Amino acid sequence: QSGTESNWRKRHTESIIEEMNKEGYEVLYRNGFMNQDRQIQDMRTFIAYKVDMIVFTPIVEDGWDAVLLEAKDAGIPVIVVDRHIRTAEENLYLTHIGPSFKAEGNRAGLYITNHFQNSSQTSIKILEMRGLAKTSSANFRSEGFTEVISRDSRIAIVASLEGDYIRSKAKDVFRNYIEENGWIDIDVLYSHNDEMTLGILEVMKESGIVAGQDIIIVTIDGQAEMIENLRAGKVNCVVECNPNAGWYVRNTIKRYLKGNPIPNEIYMPETVFSDKGNLESIPPREY
Ligand code: GYE
């Protein structure tokens, strides 16, 4: 696992371990603490242990070729979960199982274009708080979002800041930004995850910004705390990111062991919750 930076990520880990336990598999768990070198070390440890399979959540997209080649040479299949990776050679891993980050970005953009559709406002300014650089989740969330908002020429991203998916980081970055630039020009906050949004909400409160009204907020993940904020009107749209990869990983492993073919990409289902929908019918969150 790449880290424990969010409740989302903690649920992601639990979900995989739970499902492996149901199957009676023995699970060795390593936390990379958001450090790629450490993750590579962890993979080497697993290779040395001669594990039967490695399920791995890459912190960033590039730089895995060498260690994946070592796993391949050792005959250990690797399943990549959550974020995508990019390798020079093909077939360095069995499959990728995760959310469609681009679809999440599209959904976030659609909320904004719909929200302002009938507004007489001639310019709509967005502040984007991005997830960790060099990750497929942050890149696709930006790409999918931009693709949709660019259809309305009034809408533009005026600042794109990096919060690394971390609450305290986003809090500092957002505070610095509004200290220098003010916030009166910002109509929308698009935040790549709930943890960062929670940090920004604290700054908004301190600064007298009425979250959800003065600034429309769209956030990704769907943690329980954020659904409460949605119900309270403090955020406007929560794009779900599904952390429950366990069931998909378990099925893929079973199919693989039976000799069934495995697709290269396995996308997990996800939805959207917003103040335009039924807030009572949102299923209880496990994260
Ligand atoms: O949205 C965030 C986590 O890569 C999809 O990483 C994941 C993201 C998730 O820290 O909360």
Q: Give distance in angstroms: CA of 164 to centre of ligand 1.
A: 10
Q: What is the pLDDT along the chain (287 residues), one digit of tens a residue?
A: 999 999 999 999 999 999 999 999 999 999 999 999 999 999 999 999 999 999 999 999 999 999 999 999 999 999 999 999 999 998 999 999 999 999 999 999 999 999 999 999 999 999 999 999 999 999 999 999 999 999 999 999 999 999 999 999 999 999 999 999 999 999 999 999 999 999 999 999 999 999 999 999 999 999 999 999 999 999 999 999 999 999 999 999 999 999 999 999 999 999 999 999 999 999 999 99
In the prediction, which pLDDT does 13 show? 98
Q: Give distance in angstroms: CA of 6 to centre of ligand 1.
A: 7
In the prediction, which pLDDT does 79 show? 98
34 lines ligand 1 (CB under 6 A): no
221 lines ligand 1 (CB under 6 A): yes
Contacts 24+ apart (CB under 8 A), 261-264: 262/94, 262/95, 263/95, 264/95, 264/96
In the prediction, which pLDDT does 227 show? 98
0.95 cut: is pTM over it? yes
2 lines ligand 1 (CB under 6 A): no
164 lines ligand 1 (CB under 6 A): no
In the prediction, which pLDDT does 284 show? 94
Give every CB contact of residue 11 below 8 A, 6+ residues apart in sequence. 243, 244, 286, 287
In the prediction, which pLDDT does 129 show? 99
Please report the atom of ligand 1 found closest to the CA of residue 98: 5
Instruction: Quickly count: other Cβ atoms within 10 Å of residue 191's Cβ.
Output: 31
In the prediction, which pLDDT does 235 show? 98
In the prediction, which pLDDT does 167 show? 98
**Pair of tokens at residue 103:** 């679809």
Q: Give distance in angstroms: CA of 193 to centre of ligand 1.
A: 6
In the prediction, which pLDDT does 107 show? 98
Q: Give distance in angstroms: CA of 74 to centre of ligand 1.
A: 30
Residue 189 contacts residue 215 (beta carbons within 8 Å): yes
